[in-house]
Structure 1
Amino acid sequence: MIASSNWKRNFFTIWTGQAFSQFSSSVLQFAIVWYLTDKTGSAMVLSVAMMMGFLPQGILGLFVGVFIDRYSRKRIMMISDSFIAVASFIMVIAGWMGILSTEVILVVLLLRSIGSAFHNPCLQAVTPQIVPSDQLTRCSGYSQAVESVSQILSPAVAAVLYRSWSLSGIVFLDVIGAFIAVFTLGITVIPELHQDENRGKVQVLREAKEGFQILRSNKGMLGLVLIGSLYTLALMPTSALFPLMSMSYFNGTSMNASIVEVVFSVGLLFGSLLLARWGGTKNRVYTIIGSFLLMSFSLFVSGVLPPSGFYVFVICSWLMGVSGPFYWGAYTPLLQSNFEAKYLGRVLSLASSIRLLSGPIGLAASGVLAEKYGVEKWFLIAGGLVLVAAFLCIMISTVRNCDNR
């Protein structure tokens, strides 16, 4: 841990750069979705694009933690950000050459996801090297607030730029954001981990297995990771079904769908700022349980509303947004504080993989159920799954008591 007088400067320097990068990437993401919609009008293409965006992270996360724990985390993040920028620049070159196709965009999304597979767990692993353990939850709230602001502003900015710029111009914005992130990382002091055991030849499978054994040795945290996968299985499809719920079940328009998305993001921002101010409960598992209960309540109410209940659905969407940061803002610091720094890369990337790989199961199940029984029924099912997650946190003593502060 570096001197307490410097940790705030280092943390906020890193996150300023990450804020620029996250915002520009979010703008580009919306622009790509609209571009693919305009050019193809295919739901299948959009589904494949979503899979390209997160499936590589889920698969590679089983192994990338080995490199995060072995090599300079600062250097890995700088290389990852640069790799993502270069991958995006492929679209600019393809546009100049007149060969920008759906296939090229899907390949770029795949490459960006590979870069993120290294970058995201590495950033999470670095945070406890900088931030005092008693400030991790509060700093997680600040990070969630940055993400929420990005979600609120990026659709509007993307809409303006998409009408006035080419897709290549928006890619340039993302490249600039990535290099700002690289610059702020370059001027930040991040203590290196000195581990004699990490010298020598990389043995990916053995070291990845060791990371799983470390996670498994903490039964409470392993249980929380698996419960988090149940939460993801319920919520990832729900977010995908939000527009359909607004426009199909409530007979709304694209404007109604936009209102719901913006209100949800405002709820995220409110919850993030509240968590940053408050810091959560002393036992962070109770913060997670409270988040689950609020989310479950909001989903249940949404699922039983009549088609005339759109404005109540808007309120429920705000409550869903409010609940989110209290889960993520407590879950990540719990992982960060329960394992030694030298294992964090493997533990965090493995936990992320377990969570992300549950997403396709939920997406497949929700598609079938929504098609056969109605989209609102999935909200009831999701509410039930999240409620089960809350009760598991309460009933399993190792999970309930896994906060070691």
Structure 2
Amino acid sequence: MPIFSSDLGKDFWNYRLGQVVSLLGDSCSHIALAWWILDKTGSAVEMSSVLAPAMVVRIFLMPLFGPLADKYSRKAIIIIADLWRFVFTGALAAMVFSNYYDTYVVIALFILNSIGSALFQAAAGGIVPQIVPREKLQIAAQQTQAINSFAGILGGVAGGIVVSTLGVFGAFLIDALSYVLAAWSTNRIQSNTVPVRKEVPQMKAAFHQWTQDFGEGFKLLFKIPVIFWICIVAMFLNLAFAPLGVILPVLAKEGRNMPPWFLGALESSISLGAIVGAVTIGYVNKRIRADLLTVMAIAMMCVGTMVLPWVPNVALPLTVLFWIGIGGTWANIPMNTQIALAIPDAYRARVGSIMGFLCQGISPLGLAAAGVIISSFGLTNALVAMGGIGLLLTPLMLLIPNFAKFMSAPPEKADQFLLEYYPEAFGSSGDLSSQGTQPLQE
């Protein structure tokens, strides 16, 4: 698979490259935030108290924003979200510049920033199928994963170097400016990104229409058990892995007594593994059934998490996280592609945001408990428990009705799979074939 394919069109690259810039900034900001909190407080519990509330807000707002992204231009929504995040990341930079740290102010600004992230994610799930041809969605998904992983590698390295040389302020400032560049790049998209949907009577009030759209998204997902149960299993897997966001900074700074560049290197190793996973997924998918590959890949992540605390020195933890990155990509690309192909455009943002809500709905509990778990049981026991719980949950994927058939459906028949197995899902809201996922061109 080529990493860069020009036949995906200028719109894809305008959008994707803008988000790459944003991801680079986010990597700097992520390392900066962890280092700032640990420097000021030395407490993993304090880090959890900052990250968990923002995650709760983001997760719960995603399904609420979904109807907006199924009604209005997704390009416009993404631009608004990026500019929103620019404002509040800039406010964090101003705090650091003023040498002012207050936990409650940091929590408040991080929560406000997460509102923009929720708005972005609600729209981002539906825009790519609108700006690339349907038959190239698999390639777009693979290249998105590979490109984002390149950004993760560069971001991890750059973030560690930036925090080490320019400090926390420099990292936050770079992240804030990256949102402006991302908004400018997204604005260059020429395709019409207003979703295809049936006209609604003008007399309906906007709030009533929003509540109807919101309810339809949930009803649709509940009527498609294969996707609903994927979300439920993923919910508990994400709960098991949620503490990793706190554990890695603590492992780097407190466990190994390393500078910020080591945390950046750990995150870069995951991204490097994700690139290898994206490049090899086509080869592996031809030899291993998609449902079995998904389960195997999740198990790879669990095993890697369990052995992470046992590997000595500096190089071996990087190798383990590289392995985890491969597993994450092999699990995510097949599932994300099938779901993107199967869900009609008029429902894609709503269903995607509700899926995000279900998949991550209880993750804040794991993130909030991370500091207490580390303090009470230590890094080693925490990581072993995370991986072990994940291994116990992984085989449940194979018990989901029609999971193997859904994952094996060819791209040109993915939407027909839903119509064949769950015809009642679209019976009252419109024909699936008329709400297809063909990209819109002006």
Length-normalised TM-score, structure 2: 0.78
SS of the aligned residue for 2:64 comes to coil
1:374 Cα offset (Å): 4.8
The corresponding residue for 1:225 is 231
Q: How far apart, in 1, do the equivalents of 2:97 and 2:388 lie?
A: 50
- 1:121-140 aligned at under 5 Å gives the runs 121-140=122-141
Q: How far apart, in 2, do the equivalents of 1:79 and 1:318 lie?
A: 34
- 1:247-326 aligned at under 5 Å gives the runs 252-254=256-258, 258=263, 260-275=266-281, 278=283, 280-281=285-286, 284-302=290-308, 305=310, 314-326=318-330
SS of the aligned residue for 2:242 comes to helix
Task: Please tell me whether residue 202 in structure 1 is matched to residue 207 in structure 2.
Answer: yes
1:339 Cα offset (Å): 1.1
Q: How far apart, in 1, do the equivalents of 2:41 and 2:146 lie?
A: 34
1:348 Cα offset (Å): 0.8
Q: Is the 8 A contact 2:54 2:111 kept in 1?
A: yes
Q: How far apart, in 2, do the equivalents of 1:198 and 1:286 lie?
A: 46
Summarize the Cα distance change of 1:154–1:311 in structure 2 as closer, same or farther, 3 Å threshold. closer
Q: Is the 8 A contact 1:221 1:402 kept in 2?
A: no
Give unmatched runs, 5+ long, in structure 2.
411-442
1:23 Cα offset (Å): 0.6
1:193 to 182, 195, 198: 195
Q: How far apart, in 1, do the equivalents of 2:88 and 2:362 lie?
A: 27
Amino acid at match of 2:298: F
Task: Please tell me whether residue 213 in structure 1 is matched to residue 256 in structure 2.
Answer: no
The corresponding residue for 2:415 is none
Task: Please tell me whether residue 385 in structure 1 is matched to residue 389 in structure 2.
Answer: yes
Q: Which moved more, 1:359-368 or 1:324-333?
A: 359-368
Q: Across the two proteins, how many residue pairs are aligned to each other?
A: 397
1:317-359 deviation per Cα after TM superposition (whole angstroms, max 9, x unaligned): 3211211111222232222122111111111111111122221
The corresponding residue for 2:432 is none
1:154-197 deviation per Cα after TM superposition (whole angstroms, max 9, x unaligned): 34423443355465544442233112211221111233324313
Task: Please tell me whether residue 175 in structure 1 is matched to residue 176 in structure 2.
Answer: yes
1:261-305 deviation per Cα after TM superposition (whole angstroms, max 9, x unaligned): 443343233223333x648459643432231232233345557x5
What root-mean-square deviation, in Å, do the aligned CA atoms of Structure 1 and Structure 2 show? Answer: 3.3
Q: Is the 8 A contact 1:64 1:118 kept in 2?
A: yes
Q: How far apart, in 2, do the equivalents of 1:243 and 1:162 lie?
A: 13
The corresponding residue for 1:69 is 70
Q: Is the 8 A contact 2:48 2:370 kept in 1?
A: no
The corresponding residue for 2:105 is 104
Q: Which moved more, 1:164-173 or 1:185-194?
A: 164-173
Task: Please tell me whether residue 80 in structure 1 is matched to residue 85 in structure 2.
Answer: no
Length-normalised TM-score, structure 1: 0.84
Q: How far apart, in 2, do the equivalents of 1:100 and 1:315 lie?
A: 36
Summarize the Cα distance change of 1:314–1:71 in structure 2 as closer, same or farther, 3 Å threshold. closer
Q: Is the 8 A contact 2:246 2:370 kept in 1?
A: no
Task: Please tell me whether residue 158 in structure 1 is matched to residue 159 in structure 2.
Answer: yes
Q: Is the 8 A contact 1:130 1:190 kept in 2?
A: yes
1:29-57 deviation per Cα after TM superposition (whole angstroms, max 9, x unaligned): 22232223333333333112212442211
Amino acid at match of 1:332: N
Give unmatched runs, 5+ long, in structure 1.
none
The corresponding residue for 2:436 is none
